[in-house]
Amino acid sequence: MHLKVLLQVLMVVLMLSLAACTPAPEPMHLHQIYQRDSIRVGILNGPTSYYVTADGATGYEYELAVALADKLGVKLDLVPSFHLEELLEKLRTGQVDVIASGSTVSESLRAQYRLAPAYQWSDEVLVFRQTEKKPKSLAELSAPVVVLKGSSQAETMLQKQAELPELSLSLNETDDATELLQQVAEGKIKYTVADSHLLAINQRFYPNLGVAMVLKSQQPVAWLLAKNNDDSLMSVLVEFFGRSYEGAELLSLEDKYFGHVRRFNYADTLDYIEAIDKVLPRYRALFEQHSGNLDWRLLAAIAYQESRWDPKARSPQGVVGMMMLTVNTANSMKVTSRVDAAQSIRGGSKYLQKLLDRMPERVKMPDRLWFALAGYNIGYNHVESARMLTEKDGADPDKWAEVKQRLSLLRQRKYYSQTRTGYARGDHAVYYVENIRRYFDTLLWVDEKKQAELKIQQQKQKLAEEYSEQLEAAANKPAAKETKKANNKTGTDRKS
């Protein structure tokens, strides 16, 4: 054997020996996920990230987690919690693969963990009750600012307190961000700090919540990973969020949860909640009766947008009644009196269902519904024109988030001249749909809250009745014993 060959053989043997003595490297994170056939996602319970309804789980971050699991071809193993600190501990100990909190990420967390690509940006805002005096600066605050301990908002306020020592803070460990907003709305606390996207959701239910000032603008909302040298899962997340942006999935998801709540009208929301209490009860039975396959609360939301629940409402364009039907639409729906509330609601419901049925089958809910509502406002053919413009632009004509951007263009000649139907007030149709979505969400919340309160009241009444029966039974026992004793004594006397 030549010396060169012998040296090569010895080198191979030495390398194999060293390899045998070297501990096996830890398997890559992504490999572990595939081995167990599931990705474990820590997620915060809340109105924007994850919650469970009668129809099942929902939420912005929840849908992102489902999409990621589908992309990987593994099961989704959700690990929900009410506290971020609990999820961070699980991330540190390897009990979850990633955290999808749905809130802005503080600077200290960015230093301790790895951030996946930001998929949303939110302002951190000081929230106050609009019936109170609006503070112009932090120095004018008349009470402590209550924030969640360990949150990005708490870190922001601690930084502000370092600059302004007289600033009073209260670090809350028991409630969540939504509960703090509710406490401000109810006057239990004066101030809190919240992410602007969370505030937008809650203003539909608590319209007296207002922004006093922006404390930090455009903060990233992103998922958290453990800080290590393993890039396998991070690489997947970079591609996942990148492709979601390119394919407009994130745009559609953003529109679904936040697209209709960005514009907020304090006075209008107050009037609406008052009308739910005072006006809606007169017509609720009619909405329920004529809703067909629709949710009666959606039908009621449409009617409020159209007429403010006024059966005799009339517009300058000649549309009339609770559902604001044109003469042609009323005739086609066999409505003989447009000012008759029952007929108008029945006709509006049938017409909306007709528009829903007319949409191509490939258009899925809820986009299908938003298109139908836009058609109810400006006509089905104008909506089809906007979908055609969307397709010409290379965007998805079956996604409302894409099409609503082109609806507004139907006011401009260079765009509407490309269509068969011509000019349309497409921007009004967008506002129309978004208003109805807000009204529907608010009505759902109010109605479900009332049902829950009614259920609690019924349970209390049942318990009170059961307690009353027990007291009555206990009171009757001594009397029964005395009667028995008397009967026994009578029997003894007779024997003697």
Question: In this structure, how many other beta carbons lie within 10 angstroms of the beta carbon of residue 323?
Answer: 31
Cβ-based burial of 91 (10 A; exposed 0-12, middle 13-18, buried ≥19): buried
Distance (Å, whole) CA 337 – CA 402: 38
Q: Nearest-5° angle of CA 292, CA 294, CA 297? A: 115
Alpha-carbon Rg for the chain in angstroms:
31
Distance (Å, whole) CA 68 – CA 75: 10
With both helix axes pointing from N to C terminus, report the angle between 177-185 and 196-203 in degrees, rounded to the nearest 10: 50
CA-to-CA separations, 27 to 23, 175, 235, in angstroms, rounded: 12, 39, 16
For residues 262 and 201, is the Cβ–Cβ distance under 8 A? no
For residues 292 and 277, is the Cβ–Cβ distance under 8 A? no
306 is catalytic: yes
SS3 146: strand
- Dihedral-angle region of residue 248 (phi above 0 means left; psi in -120 to 50 means alpha; beta otherwise): left
Catalytic residue selected from 249, 306, 384, 402: 306
Distance (Å, whole) CA 119 – CA 64: 10
Name the residues annotated as catalytic.
306
